C-alpha cells in the first residue's frame, strides 16, 4: 500500500509538472499562432509530428539525447529519471493545448473582435478582456485532454527510470502478477478521472462564471499537487539507487540488494525495467549506484568484444577494463550464470534425437526458433550460426514470458532459454550442449557506480559467491510460476535470508 | 467649425480603388449619411476615420488634429463606434459592456444607470447578459457603450440594419434625438436611401470610390446625375405606390 501511494505521488507530480510546462509553452505559442498563420502551420505540424512518435520511443530517445548533451556541455544533466520523462511528457502534452488554444482564439466571433478594436482596446487588452475569457472553455478542454493523455503516458516513464504507476504494470506483466498489473492500471485510470473531473469543474466554473465551482476545482488540483509533494518516507541517510532490467531475476536480486543496503542504514530507490545498455550507461554516469549485469552481455555490448575467452579470464578482463574505462567497480560474481542456452521440451528433443547444438543443426530446417527480443541481433547468435550452421524454417521473437509459453504450447520447438531460469525445470526442458563453445559465459556480476561508499560495498560483499544456480532457479520459479506466486521481494527474502 | 476633415483619401484593394481621391469636410454637430451601392467604399471610408483601415494616401483630421498624431487606442477611445452586428461581449453583463471604455481609460465614474436611461432601457437590464436581450435592446446597449466615454464624434456602420422595420424606425428617431441633445457629430453608413434621407441633414453618395453627390436630403431629390436619381427614385416611387393603395 505504501508502495502504491509512493508511486501514485511521483506519477502525479511528474504528470502535473508536464502538463504545467505544456500550458506554459503551449498557451503563448497558441496566442502567437492564432495571430500569425505563418507560425501556425509549422507549430501545429511539429506538435502533431511529436504526437505520432510512440510515447515509449519518445521517452527512450531522451536518455541518450541528455547523455550526449551532458557530455557536450560538461554540465551535470541527470539523464535518467525525472528529467527525460518530464521533457518527453511535456512535449506530448503540447499538441492538445496548442490545437485547442488556436481554435479557441480563432473561434471568437469577428463582430466581437471588431467591436473590441473599434472601442480602442490594445491587443493585450483584447486578449485579456475578450479573447481569453471567451476561449477559456475550449482552451481548458485542451488542457483536460492533455492531462488525461499525460497521466496515461506517464506509466511509461518507468522505462527511463522514473518511478510511476507503470512500475506496477511493467513488473506485474513481467512476473505475470495480474493483480499488480490491474492495480497499476486502475490507479492510473483513477488518477486520470479524478484530475479530469477537477478540471471539468474549473471549466464549468469559467463557462458559467461560477466562482464556487472555479475555486473548488482549483483547490482540488492544488491539493492533489500538494499531496504529491508530501515525502512518502522520512529519515536521513544517503539515498542509493538500485537498477534492475526487466525480468524477474533482476527484480529479485534488486530486492535482495535493497534489503542489505537498508539494513546498513541507507535510503534506497529503485529504477526497474531499464534497457540493457541504458542500465550500464546509467551506472557509469552515477544515475544508478548498483545493479547486476552478466559478463557476456558486458563483454559484447560494452567492450564490443567478439572473442570468447574462458569465464574466469572474461571476468578478470571486465574488472580491469570497466574500471579503467568508466570507473565502474565489478565487485564480483554472485555465483550463478544466466547464460543463453538453447532449450527444447524433453519429449521433443528425444523424439528428434537432439542432444547438442550439432544435432540441432541437422533438425533445424524443420523447426521453429523462439528467441527473446535481443538474441537474434546479438553476436552470440552469429557465433552459434557460424559454428553450427543453424538454419531454422521460422524464427520468432518474444518477450521472455511469452517465449516460454511458446515452447510449452509447441508454437516454438527451440527457445533461447536462460540457464538460471526456473521454468527450465518447471517445463521439463533440456538445455542443449555446446561442445564447440559458441556461447560465452554469463556470470551474474554485482556492479557498482564510480565512487560508491566503502560501507555500501561492505554491506553488499556477502552476496558475492553466495547464490548458486539451483537457488536462483528456485527463486525465479517462485515468481514466474502460475500458482502460489510470490512477489520478487518475498523470493529475495528466501534467496538471501538476511539478516 | 470643421469637426472632421478628410483630404484626398485613396485606398486600393488589389488593383481596384476602394476610395479614389475622396475629400470631405464635416462641420461639428452635423448628421451625415454615407450611401451607395455595395462595394462603393462607404465602409472603407468610415473605418479609415478610426484607423481600422489604413489608407494608401490622403489625410484625416479630427478637430484640426491629424489622427495619426496620437496612439490609435487613444484615438478610438474618443470616437463612438456602432456596427450592424453590434458585437456586445457575450461574457460580460450589460453594465460591464457599457462601462468597458471608461474602464480602459481608467475613468472612475459609474454612468451605467444614466446611460441606460439615455438609451431608454430599464435599469434592471444592467445585470443581464447580452443573450437575454432582444435585437433592439442589444443595439441600444451598443449605443450606450459607444457613448460611455462622452465622444463628440460617432461612426455608425449600418447601425439599424439588423433590426425589424418597427424597431428600426423607432431606434433611428431615438438616436437622432440623442444626436441633437448631446451635440454629436455623426457619420452613418447605410444602404437604405430612405433612412438616409429621413435621418440625416446631409447625404453623401459614394459610387465606385468617388463622391457623386453631396447635398441636403431635399437637394438630393433633384439631382441630375442619372445614377443618383435612380437611387433616390426607389423610395419615392415606393411612397407613391403606398399612397395609391
In this predicted structure, what is the pLDDT of residue A237? 53
**Which residues in chain A touch residue B75, judged by CB atoms under 8 angstroms apart?**
120
The confidence band for B68, taking pLDDT boundaries of 50, 70 and 90, is very high
Residues of CATH 1.10.3720.10 domain(s) within chain A?
Answer: 2-229
| Domain spanning A2-229, CATH class | mainly alpha
Q: Which of A250, A142, A151 is nearest to A191 (CA)?
A: A151
This prediction's pTM: 0.69
Q: Tell me the mean pLDDT in the region B239-245.
A: 90
Q: Do B87 and A133 touch (CB under 8 A)?
A: no
- Please name the member of A111, A118, A122 whose beta carbon is closest to the beta carbon of B50: A118
Query: Which residues, numbered 82 to 121 in chain A, qualify as contacts with chain B under a Cβ-Cβ cut-off of 8 Å?
Result: 109, 111-121
Does the CB of B113 have a partner CB in chain A at under 8 Å? no
**Which residues in chain A touch residue B91, judged by CB atoms under 8 angstroms apart?**
133-134, 209
Which range among A385-399, B25-39, B66-80 shows the weakest confidence by mean pLDDT? A385-399
Which three cell numbers mark B90?
A: 457575450
In tens, the pLDDT along B152-171 reads 999 999 999 888 889 999 99
Q: Do A109 and B101 touch (CB under 8 A)?
A: no
In this predicted structure, what is the pLDDT of residue A499? 64
The helix/strand/coil state of B221 is helix
Query: Which residues, numbered 129 to 158 in chain A, qualify as contacts with chain B under a Cβ-Cβ cut-off of 8 Å?
Result: 129-130, 133-134
* CA A315/CA A214 separation, integer angstroms: 63
Residues of CATH 3.40.190.120 domain(s) within chain A?
Answer: 340-431
**CATH number 3.30.1330.10 is the correct assignment for the domain at A239-337+444-495:** no
**Which residues in chain B touch residue A134, judged by CB atoms under 8 angstroms apart?**
89-91
Q: What is the pLDDT along chain A (499 residues), one digit of tens a residue?
A: 667 888 898 899 999 999 999 999 999 999 999 988 899 889 889 888 888 888 888 888 888 888 888 888 877 777 777 888 999 999 989 989 999 999 999 999 999 999 999 999 999 999 999 999 999 989 999 999 999 999 999 999 888 878 889 988 887 887 778 888 999 999 999 999 999 999 999 988 887 778 888 899 999 999 988 888 876 544 445 788 999 998 889 999 999 999 888 888 788 888 888 877 788 988 988 889 999 999 988 988 889 888 888 888 999 999 999 999 888 999 999 999 998 889 999 998 999 889 999 898 888 888 899 998 888 887 778 888 888 888 888 888 888 778 888 998 888 999 998 888 888 888 889 888 888 888 888 999 999 998 888 888 888 999 999 998 889 989 998 888 878 888 888 899 899 887 6
Average pLDDT value for chain B: 92
Cβ atoms within 10 A of the Cβ of A150, count? Answer: 24
In this predicted structure, what is the pLDDT of residue A236? 45
C-alpha dihedral, A132 to A137 to A143 to A148, nearest 10°: 180
Point out which residues pair with B133 in neighbouring strands. Answer: none
In tens, the pLDDT along B108-146 reads 778 899 999 989 999 999 999 999 999 999 999 999 999
CA distances to A7, A102, A232, B218 from A2, rounded to whole Å, are 9, 42, 8, 91
Residues of CATH 3.40.190.10 domain(s) within chain A?
Answer: 239-337+444-495
Provide ipTM, 2 decimals. 0.92
| Domain spanning A340-431, CATH class | alpha beta
Q: Do A118 and B76 touch (CB under 8 A)?
A: yes
Amino acid at each position: 500500500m505504501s508502495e502504491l501511494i509512493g508511486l501514485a505521488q511521483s506519477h502525479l507530480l511528474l504528470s502535473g509538472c508536464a502538463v504545467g510546462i505544456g500550458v506554459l509553452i503551449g498557451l503563448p505559442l497558441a496566442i502567437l499562432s492564432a495571430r500569425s498563420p505563418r507560425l501556425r502551420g509549422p507549430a501545429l505540424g511539429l506538435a502533431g509530428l511529436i504526437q505520432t512518435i510512440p510515447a515509449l520511443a519518445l521517452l527512450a530517445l531522451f536518455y541518450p539525447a541528455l547523455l550526449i548533451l551532458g557530455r557536450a556541455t560538461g554540465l551535470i544533466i541527470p539523464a535518467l529519471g525525472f528529467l527525460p520523462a518530464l521533457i518527453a511528457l511535456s512535449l506530448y502534452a503540447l499538441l492538445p493545448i496548442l490545437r485547442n488554444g488556436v481554435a479557441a482564439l480563432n473561434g471568437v466571433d469577428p463582430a466581437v473582435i471588431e467591436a473590441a478594436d473599434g472601442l480602442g482596446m490594445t491587443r493585450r487588452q483584447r486578449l485579456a478582456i475578450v479573447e481569453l475569457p471567451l476561449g477559456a472553455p475550449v482552451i481548458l478542454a485542451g488542457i483536460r485532454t492533455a492531462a488525461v493523455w499525460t497521466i496515461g503516458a506517464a506509466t511509461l516513464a518507468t522505462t527511463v527510470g522514473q518511478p510511476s504507476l507503470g512500475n506496477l504494470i511493467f513488473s506485474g506483466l513481467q512476473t505475470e502478477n495480474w493483480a499488480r498489473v490491474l492495480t497499476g492500471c486502475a490507479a492510473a485510470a483513477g488518477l486520470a478521472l479524478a484530475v479530469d473531473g477537477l478540471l471539468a469543474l474549473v471549466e464549468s466554473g469559467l463557462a458559467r462564471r461560477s466562482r464556487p465551482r472555479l475555486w473548488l476545482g482549483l483547490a482540488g488540483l492544488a491539493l492533489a499537487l500538494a499531496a504529491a509533494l508530501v515525502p512518502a518516507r522520512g529519515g536521513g541517510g544517503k539515498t542509493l539507487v538500485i537498477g534492475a532490467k526487466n525480468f524477474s531475476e533482476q527484480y529479485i536480486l534488486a530486492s535482495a540488494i535493497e534489503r542489505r543496503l537498508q539494513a546498513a542504514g541507507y535510503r534506497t530507490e529503485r529504477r526497474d525495467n531499464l534497457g540493457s545498455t541504458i542500465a550500464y550507461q546509467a551506472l557509469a554516469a552515477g544515475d544508478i549506484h548498483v545493479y547486476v549485469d552478466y559478463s557476456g552481455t558486458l563483454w559484447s555490448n560494452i567492450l564490443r568484444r567478439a572473442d570468447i575467452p574462458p569465464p574466469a579470464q572474461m571476468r578478470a578482463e571486465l574488472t580491469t577494463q570497466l574500471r579503467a574505462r568508466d570507473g565502474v567497480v565489478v565487485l564480483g560474481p554472485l555465483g550463478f550464470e544466466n547464460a543463453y542456452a538453447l532449450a527444447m521440451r524433453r519429449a521433443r528433443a528425444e523424439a528428434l534425437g537432439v542432444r547438442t547444438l550439432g544435432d540441432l543443426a541437422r533438425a533445424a530446417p524443420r523447426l521453429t526458433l523462439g528467441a527473446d527480443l535481443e538474441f537474434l541481433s546479438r553476436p552470440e547468435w552469429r557465433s552459434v550460426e557460424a559454428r553450427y550452421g543453424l538454419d531454422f524454417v521460422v524464427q520468432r521473437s518474444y518477450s521472455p514470458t511469452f517465449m516460454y509459453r511458446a515452447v510449452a504450447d509447441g508454437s516454438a520447438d527451440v527457445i533461447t532459454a536462460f540457464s538460471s531460469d526456473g521454468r527450465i525445470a518447471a517445463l521439463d526442458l533440456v538445455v542443449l550442449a555446446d561442445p564447440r563453445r559458441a556461447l560465452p559465459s554469463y556470470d551474474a556480476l554485482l556492479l557498482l557506480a564510480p565512487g560508491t561508499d566503502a560501507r555500501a560495498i561492505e554491506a553488499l560483499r556477502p552476496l558475492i559467491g553466495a547464490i548458486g544456480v539451483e537457488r536462483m532457479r528456485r527463486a525465479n520459479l517462485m515468481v514466474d510460476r502460475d500458482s502460489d506466486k510470490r512477489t520478487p521481494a518475498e523470493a529475495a527474502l528466501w534467496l538471501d535470508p538476511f539478516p | 467649425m470643421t469637426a472632421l476633415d478628410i483630404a484626398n483619401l485613396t485606398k486600393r484593394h488589389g488593383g481596384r480603388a476602394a476610395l479614389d481621391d475622396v475629400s470631405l469636410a464635416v462641420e461639428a454637430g452635423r448628421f451625415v449619411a454615407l450611401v451607395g451601392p455595395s462595394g462603393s467604399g462607404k465602409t472603407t471610408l468610415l473605418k479609415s476615420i478610426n484607423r481600422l483601415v489604413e489608407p494608401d494616401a490622403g489625410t484625416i483630421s479630427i478637430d484640426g488634429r491629424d489622427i495619426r498624431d496620437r496612439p490609435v487606442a487613444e484615438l478610438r477611445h474618443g470616437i463612438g463606434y456602432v456596427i450592424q452586428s453590434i458585437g456586445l461581449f457575450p461574457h460580460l453583463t450589460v453594465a460591464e459592456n457599457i462601462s468597458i471604455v471608461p474602464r480602459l481609460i481608467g475613468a472612475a465614474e459609474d454612468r451605467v444607470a444614466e446611460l441606460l436611461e439615455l438609451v431608454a432601457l430599464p435599469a434592471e437590464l444592467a445585470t443581464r447578459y447580452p443573450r437575454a436581450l432582444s435585437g433592439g435592446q442589444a443595439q441600444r446597449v451598443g449605443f450606450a457603450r459607444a457613448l460611455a466615454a462622452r465622444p463628440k464624434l460617432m461612426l455608425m456602420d449600418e447601425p439599424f440594419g439588423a433590426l425589424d422595420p418597427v424597431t428600426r424606425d423607432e431606434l433611428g428617431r431615438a438616436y437622432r434625438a440623442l444626436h441633437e441633445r448631446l451635440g454629436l457629430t455623426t457619420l452613418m453608413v447605410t444602404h437604405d436611401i430612405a433612412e438616409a434621407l429621413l435621418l440625416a441633414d446631409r447625404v453623401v453618395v459614394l459610387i465606385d470610390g468617388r463622391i457623386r453627390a453631396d447635398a441636403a436630403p431635399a437637394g438630393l431629390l433633384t439631382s441630375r446625375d442619372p445614377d443618383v436619381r435612380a437611387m433616390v427614385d426607389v423610395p419615392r416611387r415606393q411612397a407613391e405606390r403606398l399612397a395609391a393603395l
